[in-house]
Structure 1
Amino acid sequence: MLWKEEGIVQISLWNINLKVRLIGEALFNMLFWMYFPFITVYFGAALGNHIAGILMTLPPIFSIIGVLLGGALADRLGRRPVMLLGASIQTMMFASFAVSPSHWIDYIAFIGIGLGGALYSPASSAMVADLVPACNRRQIFATFTTANNIGAVLGPALGAIFFFHYRQLLLWTCALVMFLYVIAIYFIIHETRPQTAKQPEASNSIIQLFMEQWKGYGIIFRDKVFLIYILAGIFALMVIMQLDLYWAVYVINEVPAQALFTWIRDSLILSSTEIFGWLLGLNGLLFVLLIFPVTKWFLHWKDRNVFILSSLLSGVGTFSLGLNTNLWYLFFVTVIFTFGEIVRSPVTQSFISRYAPDYARGQYMGANSLQHTIARFLAPVTVFLSNWVAPVGIFSIILVFAFISIVLYNQLFKIYVEKPEAAN
């Protein structure tokens, strides 16, 4: 496998495993974003918003179980079998969703789709770390992030039409894409688990196997460096996740309708809801356009500095949102916030792929996913508090989250000495 020393790698030089995964995951993420943003609305209309709100608290719990189990199995059984299992579960759940006669079966299928994705994710990330030298990982992870975000930009616009008017067709298409991807994994993708990873003993029962896996996670979470890294990531992500949480509440409720452009006799007036849509669109567009250049600009920066810069920009950008309601000012603030989000993205996975030992890489990748799941569970606290706290107070709390993450990242790299990437 050929890799350019400066860390910028042409896709034509990628291992076949990575090429197949890039195409498969890009297609699936496009379809994912065509249904995911509307799923709460769907269950709310069918079962009532109160019940839907309660039901939506359960998927993160299954995601936690899925990523931990998926990471452990990836080290035990290999990356390829776990990816096959996760993708197969998603295929079956999409088909079940498509033919379901009941909203409760729809909900079970939705949880199953999330569980399959959670099983798949750590094995997929571990495979990248297995195949790619440390000096190239940021760029590879940035490529996969870009593919995902193209779907995040285009998917909701298409989904607004297809999910509500052609839902069965959309779900069958998702099932077909996943089925074809399962076939591609089976026939094309080869195993990459290092020889140092644990081999399952034939005498082990299923119960013994699961007990050993959970014991392994206990050891990981007693790792002080890793634990501080997870805590820092939770606070950093709680800031970044406000984009589709408190940002929406603030912009829709506090920002007045105003003109985007003004002509001699006319102007294009955007409502508060439309302004929020434009901010989301700008965020997604900037992510797609800038992820590669930004990754290249910061290629030789230490992880410590990148993490701290990311938390600072996203925190300051979010806090600044509450200082003015002018539309073009909000666009400027969104650029600052998005830059902080972009800077962080490829470094997160490349850091943990270097830190994790070869024999437990899947487990570390699974545990690493917890920071996103826990942050997603805690981040809505700002929306809850907004019933009693003024916007300036909420934005101050968010800024405090950012500073806590900065303090934790600073502490992390006091006890963990970064190694040159080329040496990994």
Structure 2
Amino acid sequence: MRRFLSDTVGGLPRTFWTLFTALLVNRIGAFGMLLLPTYLTTARGTTLAMAGLITGGYGAGGAIGTLTGGVLADRWGRKRTYLLGTSASAILMLALGFAGPLWLIALLAILLGLTHMLPSPAMVAAIVDVTPEADRPRAFNLQFWAFNMGSAVAAALAGIVAEFSFFALFVADASMTAITALLILFWVPETLPTRSTTGPRPGLGRVLTDRVFMAFVGLTFVLALLTAQGVSTVQLAMAADGLRPAVYGLVVSLGGAMIVLGQLFVPKLVGHRRHGRVLAFSFTLLAFGFASVAFADLAWVYLGAAVIWTLGQMFAAPANASVIAELAPWHMRARYQGVFNLVFPAAFFVAPAVGGWSLQTLGAWHWIVCGVLGLAGGWGHLAASAARESRLDRERAALSVAEPVAA
């Protein structure tokens, strides 16, 4: 056990652990938006369509927030951007608890989406800033674990708090977010690297024209699209098979439990294997997991499929984050992270819309198509890994000549 803990959590810098704690605290208190649709339909009496529209506004704000956060974190600093996002989120969440008119709730939902996503590129960039390259897979694996652990606790507590008061739900969320801001304010230094530069700084256009990185983003969109099937389309298939919503809840909770209990073992399993091969393997697991839903009609078959695709997600998480850290230039780390983060809200918008139509039109063949898409994504990572590794070798050689100094 001592050796396992040393290999898993040993040697990481103190700033990383503060960021880890801040993320965990923030996710444990993420009550408000989790139950926003329920609040709107039960406490405010809105229609399902209106609740969906307002909740969708949160996602739209998040897309703007992740790009804005990337630019600010590279230009203004990681710490300032993180503090701006968390402080504004705490105030807006408290305002949401007092909001009366639906138009105001809708506006606050959009603004909360923006401020909630604003710190994300800054946090990941800060982890890259302070963590040596060899330790980054472990750091990102722990980050993924903290996110899912906090989300699992929040899901368990949110319903209990809501039974007492929805207003208390928003107050608790705002309080936990404020604690996150205090952790960053007092215990996280500014980590933005500094180096003398001449000429104008490149903007988002540089990121969007980076072919190697955008190919990786495209492949990650496939991953996000498949992952979103487990949240949206799978429950439609289970309902068509006559399974109760509680069974779908069991499928979702199984995936969360696997990540919480097993994610810390992932770095030991993947070791020093190339990221391209790890990602290809994870895509293969996703492919077989979702393709097997085509033959599912009983609860235990769905649970088995969930085990397979969750394993794929677990292997992909640290490898994905490590590839971004390797491809992003030191002075554009947050911008690259901001563009990368866009794939998830985009996928969670496309998946329900296209997935529902595809399931209705193709039936069980929809899941075979998902399997083929996953296998194609795995092959794509194998094909693209050579270009990524060649670029990494060149950048390492350049960094050995002039290493940036942390501020």
TM-score (norm 2): 0.88
Equivalent position to 2:37, from 37, 40, 46: 40
Query: Any gaps of 5 or more consecutive residues in structure 1?
Result: 202-211, 257-271
Cα distance change on mapping 1:399 and 1:9 into 2, 3 Å: closer
Cα separation, 2, equivalents of 1:327 and 1:61: 34
Aligned residue type for 1:331: L
Mapped to 2, the partners of 1:136 and 1:14 lie a distance apart of 7
CA distance in 2 between counterparts of 1:198 and 1:275 reads: 57
Deviation at 1:197, TM superposition (A): 8.2
2:333 match: 361
In structure 2, the residue matched to 1:105 is 104
Q: Distance in 1 between matches of 2:159 and 2:239?
A: 19
> Which amino acid is 1:324 matched to?
A
1:184–1:163 distance in 2 versus 1, CA, 3 Å: same
For 1:244, the equivalent position in structure 2 comes to: 231
SS at match of 1:380: helix
Deviation at 1:185, TM superposition (A): 1.8
Conserved in 1, the CA contact under 8 Å of 2:58 and 2:111?
A: no
Range moving further from structure 2, 183-192 or 296-305: 183-192
1:97 positional shift: 1.3
Deviation per CA, 1:363-410: give whole Å up to 9, x if none: 111111112122122111344315632431221232233133224323
Which stretch shows the higher mean deviation, 149-158 or 187-196?
149-158
CA drift of 1:71 comes to 0.7
1:122 corresponding residue in structure 2: 121
The structural deviation recorded for 1:195 is: 0.9
Q: How does 1:39-188 map to 2 (within 5 A)?
A: 39-45=36-42, 46-188=45-187
Q: Which residue of 1 aligns with 2:381?
A: 409
What is the rounded CA distance, in whole Å, between the counterparts of 2:230 and 2:123 in structure 1? 27
1:376 aligns with 2:348: yes
**Paired-residue identity, %:** 22
Q: CA deviation at 1:183?
A: 2.4
User: Partner residue of 2:216?
Assistant: 229
Of the candidates 255, 268, 271, which is equivalent to residue 296 of structure 1? 268
Deviations 1:327-349 (A, max 9, x none): 33322222111100100011111
1:228-280, CA deviations, whole angstroms, 9 ceiling, x for partnerless residues?
Answer: 11111101210011111011111122154xxxxxxxxxxxxxxx212111111
The alpha-carbon distance between structure 1 residues 251 and 37, as it changes in their structure 2 partners (threshold 3 A), is: farther
1:27 matched to 2:25? The reply is yes
Aligned CA distance change for structure 1 residues 171 and 198 (closer, same or farther; 3 Å):
farther
Q: Distance in 1 between matches of 2:376 and 2:235?
A: 24
Query: CA, structure 1 residues 58+100, in 2 after alignment: closer, same or farther (shift >3 Å)?
Result: closer
Q: Report the Cα offset of residue 21 of structure 1.
A: 2.1
- Structure 1 pair 392/83, CA: closer, same or farther in 2 (3 Å)? same
Q: Distance in 1 between matches of 2:123 and 2:175?
A: 20
Q: 1:83 to 1:305 in 2, by over 3 A?
A: same
Structure 1 distance, partners of 2:263, 2:281, is 15
1:283–1:334 Cα contact (<8 Å) kept: yes
Tell me, in whole angstroms, the C-alpha distance in 1 between the residues paired with 2:145 and 2:272: 20
3-state SS in 2 of match to 1:18: helix
Structure 2 portions without partners, runs of 5+: 400-407
Q: 2:277, 2:381 within 8 Å by CA — same for their partners in 1?
A: no
Q: CA deviation at 1:356?
A: 0.8
Instruction: State the distance in 2 between where 1:197 and 1:160 align.
Output: 52
* Structure 1 CA distance for aligned equivalents of residues 358 and 282 of structure 2: 25
> Are the aligned partners of 2:226 and 2:370 in contact in 1 as well (CA < 8 Å)?
yes
Q: Which has more helix, going by share of residues?
A: 2
Q: Which amino acid aligns with 1:276?
A: Y
> What's the TM-score, normalizing by structure 1?
0.85
The 8 Å contact of residues 75 and 198 in structure 1, kept in 2 or not, is answered as: no
